[in-house]
Structure 1
Amino acid sequence: MAEVVAGVGVSHIPALGAMMEGTSGGPTATVFDTFAPIRDWVAERELDTLIVIYNDHASAFSLELLPTFAIGAAPSYAPADEGYGPRQVAVAEGDLDLSWHLIDKVIPEGFDLAVCQQLDVDHGFTVPMTVLFGSPQEWPVRVVPIAVNVVQQPTPSAQRCFDLGRAIGRAVASFGEERRVGVIGTGGMSHQLQGRRAGHINEVFDRRFLEEIVDHPDRLAGLTNTEYIHEAGSEGAELVMWLVMRGALSDKVVEGYSGYHIPVSNTAAGIVALDNVGAPVGVVG
């Protein structure tokens, strides 16, 4: 009865959220023109729940305690205080039944998800929600947040993230309640915030990624973590989280929208929207 209807890959740059909250002209309007069409596209899918694949930025976790994968199993998720106060956005309502179903199905497949029955979410989560929905008093969907360690080595490989998405897709398909589910992979695109390559942007790689994630995600899953860092920068390696999203969809998808903009706060920002048109791998009919 549940199905993954669509997937979206989207950057979660803090400045992107701020720019999407106002369209007074100039560069802000240009960014808005690039990302705003996704709102109508998402609204047309009439989603009930979003599974949001994101990374924490030392808000809920720290370098002393940082799970490879963590899933929220809480009634709600408040915006985190990132040192300058939480973003002024709505508290997200959790989809508890779906969270526990994913926990029960995905962990036995060999993915050790840390279960979080209390979890605040930072800009890695809230900025994509703003991009997709604006700034409503209440988010129009329930959520299941899944955090991925892309901060401290060793980080999970692109293939591991893609395989996790496959397991999530199968789990959603086996859920006994009716749900129209969207999966959002956040982060990237190419950027690096420190060191000699600070400000690194690789437009050629970013555009290749936006193309291949549609029909050839296996090529992207085959890249090593070192290759991601080399091509996209140390923080651009967040793109592996888009592969969790893509893995949750079927082999065949239809691209509904794609956009790319540089720079956004010395960072390349991209978005791709995919309609799911088949069953997840390992699920028949």
Structure 2
Amino acid sequence: MAEVIAGVGVSHVPALGDAMESGQEGPASAVFEMFEPVRDWVEKLDLDTLIVIYNDHAAAFSLELYPTFAIGAAPSYAPADEGYGAREVPDCEGDLDLSWHLIDSVIPEGFDLAICQQLDVDHGFTVPLTVLYGKPEEWPVRVVPIAVNVVQQPTPSAQRCFDLGRAIGRAIASFPEARRVGVVGTGGMSHQLQGTRAGHINQEFDRRFLADIADDPANLAALSNREYILEAGSEGAELVMWLVMRGAMAEAVNVAYSAYHVPVSNTGAGIIALEPLLAQ
């Protein structure tokens, strides 16, 4: 049977992808060191499939047509051209059977996912893969992309995202084939790219979020969208995607690793690795 054996929350700062591709040292080296323990941890887990919760930055969707939730149901996903060429990373192989099982399970529960049988994925999706797997010739896992609208108002609430994650977790548990599944929630941490608060970073909130995502996700789910923007900035509101990941996991988890670094390209960057806490 399928089971979620790992959850990861990680920032998807595009500058990190560029630096990791080029092997850039200097200020970025401290961030690379922050990722290494999680990369080793993921390698040992030998995952079959990653479900990646991300937001599209107007690469596959436009502001004229931007779904609240969308799921990939394609055999493969190519890196998107974000205006300066696609990232030089491999295409991602899709897990079609699991995608369609999630679609058939989650939509009847009341979560209206747009189904994408063709989808290019941008840095919000591919940078976390580089964080977890480096620069392989081929990605060692199949993927299921799930995109969340955190760009065009109105955006889904933190509670709705957490509830979606729970529905995904139930769907995975009912999948009839064996799968070692990891779920990745991407985006954040606190940052704002425009307006009078451009450059906003709230380290206190970021560190509290890293603690609560493991031990008290219901507290984070209870925060309003306005509270996320006030605390974490307009782009820091991406953190609701980590709640989809957390909802898909067991109620009790163990923190395998957690780290935080600031600033990264005017962004608070964090990572957390979670594993289900097995009953004694």
Common fold, TM-score beyond 0.5?
Answer: yes
Q: Which runs of 5+ in 2 are unaligned?
A: none
For 1:212, the equivalent position in structure 2 comes to 212
For 1:122, the equivalent position in structure 2 comes to 122
Whole-angstrom distance in 2 between the partners of 1:131 and 1:210: 18
RMSD over aligned CA atoms reads: 1.1
SS of the residue corresponding to residue 21 of structure 1 reads helix
Whole-angstrom distance in 2 between the partners of 1:24 and 1:73: 35
TM-score w.r.t. the length of structure 1 is 0.96
Whole-angstrom distance in 1 between the partners of 2:278 and 2:150: 29
SS of the residue corresponding to residue 40 of structure 1 reads helix
Q: 1:38: Cα distance to partner?
A: 1.1
Whole-angstrom distance in 2 between the partners of 1:16 and 1:79: 16
For 2:243, the equivalent position in structure 1 comes to 243
Aligned residue type for 2:69: F
Alignment: residue pair count: 279
For 2:266, the equivalent position in structure 1 comes to 266
Select between 194-203 and 11-20 the one with higher mean Cα deviation: 11-20
For 1:82, the equivalent position in structure 2 comes to 82
For 1:199, the equivalent position in structure 2 comes to 199
Aligned residue type for 1:36: E
Q: 1:22: Cα distance to partner?
A: 4.8
What do the CA deviations read for 1:195-233 (whole angstroms, capped 9, x no partner)? 000000000000000001011000000000000000000
For 2:146, the equivalent position in structure 1 comes to 146
For 2:53, the equivalent position in structure 1 comes to 53
Whether 1:233 and 2:205 are equivalent positions in the alignment is no
Whole-angstrom distance in 1 between the partners of 2:24 and 2:144: 33
Q: 1:117: Cα distance to partner?
A: 0.1
SS of the residue corresponding to residue 154 of structure 1 reads coil
Aligned residue type for 1:250: A
Whole-angstrom distance in 1 between the partners of 2:44 and 2:225: 36
Segments of 4+ moved more than 3 angstroms: 21-25
Q: 1:85: Cα distance to partner?
A: 0.2
Whole-angstrom distance in 2 between the partners of 1:278 and 1:155: 34
Whole-angstrom distance in 1 between the partners of 2:110 and 2:43: 34
Q: 1:106: Cα distance to partner?
A: 0.2
What do the CA deviations read for 1:48-89 (whole angstroms, capped 9, x no partner)? 000000000000001000000000000000000000000000
Q: Which runs of 5+ in 1 are unaligned?
A: 280-285
SS of the residue corresponding to residue 172 of structure 1 reads helix
Matches within 5 A, 1:1-285: 1-23=1-23, 25-277=25-277
Q: 1:278: Cα distance to partner?
A: 5.5
Aligned residue type for 1:138: E
For 1:282, the equivalent position in structure 2 comes to none
- Percent of residue pairs identical: 77
